[in-house]
Structure 1
Amino acid sequence: MKTLRSLLAAAGIGRRGSRKPVISADDPELVVVVRSYDDTEPASTALERATGWDPEAPAVLRHHLALPGDVVDTVTAVLAQDEWVVRPGGRAEELSVPELRPLVALRVQRLDALHCSQESSRMAGLAQRHGGGAFGWDALQPASE
C-alpha cells in the first residue's frame, strides 16, 4: 500500500522546494550571470562575484565539455538520468580541442555553491572517464531590469 507521502509526491504535491522551476533553457532573453572557468576557483567565490545573479530564481546551469564523438551518446544517456541535456557548442569550441566535440550539458535549477561544486566535480570525472575534458561552468538567468 502506498503511503500518503508517496501519493502526494506522485501528484507533485509535497515539499515546498520540490516544484519544477519555470524557465526555459531556450529563452533568448537569458544572459550569463556567473561563470567559473578556473577549476581551482571555489563555486562560492564565483557566486560571490556574480553580477545580476538572483539566488532565489532558477537558472540554466551549463557545464562546458569536450568529448570524443563516439562517447557522446553514452554520456548523454548518463546525464539524462538526472535531467541534464547535452547540446553541441560551448566554450570548448573556442579552445580548439583537437579530436573532441565541444558540448554543453545544461539543466534548469537553483544555484548554490554546494551543488555547483558537486556537479563540476561530477562533470570533470565523467568527461575524464570518457577521454574528454571539462572546461568550467556558467549560469544564465533572465536579464534584470
Structure 2
Amino acid sequence: MLGWLRERLGGDREPELLTGSPGLVVVVEAFDPAEADSAALARSPRWRPDRPAVLRHHLVLPPDQVERAASMLAQDGYELRPSDRGPGCWEAVRVQVLDALHCAQERSRMAGLTQRLGGDAPGWDALQPEPG
C-alpha cells in the first residue's frame, strides 16, 4: 500500500532523461553493417530495455548539407550536434526506449538521409545513466 502511495506522489520517479543528462554511459553500439541491431542489443549486458536511452547516430555530412540535415532530423525529434570523431562528423541524438525494430528502422533512415546528402552513417550507439 505504501509503495502505491509513493508512486502516486512521484516519490520513486527517476529524473527525466535528456540528451545531455549527466552520468550517461555507452551501453550498446552498432558499427558493423553486417550485424543485426537485435544482435547488438542482445550482446549488451549493460543495456536496460525497460529504460529510455539516448540514441546517438554517428553521421558524416558535407559542410554544405549540415543545415538541411538538421532541419530534416528535427522533424523527428533529433538534435544534430558536432561530434568529436573528426571533421565532418555529427551526432543525431534523441531520447527513446530502444528495441530492435526501431533501431533498425532508424539506422535505415539515417543511411538513406546521409546518402541523399552525400554523406555516410557508419553506425549508432546508445547511452543510459550509470546504474547506481
TM-score (norm 1): 0.78
How far residue 51 of structure 1 moved from its aligned partner, in angstroms, is 2.2
Within-5 A mapping of 1:1-145: 22-91=16-85, 93=86, 101-145=88-132
Paired-residue identity, %: 54
Summarize deviations over 1:100-134 as a string: whole Å, max 9, x none: 61000001000000000000000011001100001
User: Quick one: distance in 1 between partners of 2:20 and 2:118?
Assistant: 29
Report the Cα distance in structure 2 between the residues aligned to 1:111 and 1:124, rounded to whole angstroms. 18
Identify unmatched segments of 5+ residues in structure 2. 1-14
Alignment deviations for residues 48-106 of structure 1 (CA, whole Å, 9 cap, x no partner):
01121110100000000000010100011001001000000154x2xxxxxx6100000
The list of structure 1 runs, each at least 4 consecutive aligned residues, that deviate by more than 6 angstroms after superposition, is none
Structure 1, unmatched stretches of 5+, are 1-20, 94-99
Q: What number of residue pairs does the alignment pair up?
A: 118
TM-score by length of 2: 0.85
For the Cα contact (< 8 Å) 1:90–1:104, is it kept in 2? no
